Amino acid sequence: MKKQSIAIIYIFLLLIGAIASLYKEPIAAGSTQQPVVIPDEAIRLRILANSDSEADQALKRKVRDEVNAEITVWVEELTSIEEARQLIQSRLPEIEAIVQRVLEEEKVDQTFKVNFNNVNFPTKIYGNYIYPAGDYEAILITLGKGNGANWWCVLFPPLCFLDFSNSEAVQAQETEEKKTSAAKTNETLSSLITNEEEKEEKAEVKFFLVEWFTSLFA
């Protein structure tokens, strides 16, 4: 009789544990977003187009691609801002040669200037960060009159895979946020449906376990 009582108590504890596990809430893993932060010590590249005409903007992008491709190779293994500063300063003639070559290839008769100094930048929003207007160390390439929309990125540390001056960066994030929001909505709806199904299943299991446990004492 004593052994039977111990067995019943043991089964009872197992039933409690089983029921408790059915009602245990899952732990959701949170996601973290890491916006890009421009370091205090950074060297930028800014290119001003002659105007906002389609041709001038296309020329600006062509210059951007050629100059950026070359400088990225120069700075990819540098570890200090001072090294980057000295290297860029010494290679300004090469940057001028690249711009001149692009103009000749595109058959554009346009003046240009290449300077490496403190350059004025407007306020820019990128992702969750606001980069305030101010004077920042940069290579400034001015094409023609320099009255067109500008393009800029961070040369050192290498961040030129991000287009900080183009609003597409912000728009892309907004699009992604909309997609994420829609996905969360669908996930919530699915979760509600799943929760209702789980409640029904848990109620059935609970009823079965109680009936079975009660039958032990019948």
For residue range 93-148, what is the model confidence (pLDDT) as tens digits? 999 999 999 999 999 999 999 999 999 988 887 777 778 889 999 999 999 999 99
Please check whether residue 163 is in contact with residue 169, taking contact to mean a CB–CB distance below 8 angstroms.
Answer: yes
Please check whether residue 162 is in contact with residue 126, taking contact to mean a CB–CB distance below 8 angstroms.
Answer: yes
Give the number of other Cβ atoms within 10 Å of residue 170's Cβ.
14
Residues near 58 by beta carbon (within 8 Å), at least 6 away in sequence: none
Contacts 24+ apart (CB under 8 A), 198-206: 202/22, 202/23, 205/19, 205/22, 206/19, 206/22
| The pLDDT value given to residue 99 | 97
Closest CA to 70 of 158, 162, 149: 158
Q: What is the mean pLDDT of each run of 10 residues along the chain (218 residues)?
A: 55 56 38 63 93 96 92 87 92 96 95 95 79 91 94 85 57 46 52 56 57 58
| The pLDDT value given to residue 105 | 95
Q: How many separate helices (H) and strands (E) can be counted in the chain?
A: 5, 6
State CA 176 to chain mean position distance: 10
Whether pTM > 0.75 for this model: the answer is no
| The pLDDT value given to residue 190 | 54
Tokens (6 digits) for 100: 């001149």
| The pLDDT value given to residue 64 | 92
Residues near 78 by beta carbon (within 8 Å), at least 6 away in sequence: 84, 87, 156
Cis peptide before 122 (omega within 30 of 0): no
Please check whether residue 90 is in contact with residue 173, taking contact to mean a CB–CB distance below 8 angstroms.
Answer: no
| The pLDDT value given to residue 40 | 81
What distance in Å separates the CA atoms of residue 8 and residue 96, rounded to the nearest whole number?
A: 89
Give the number of other Cβ atoms within 10 Å of residue 90's Cβ.
10
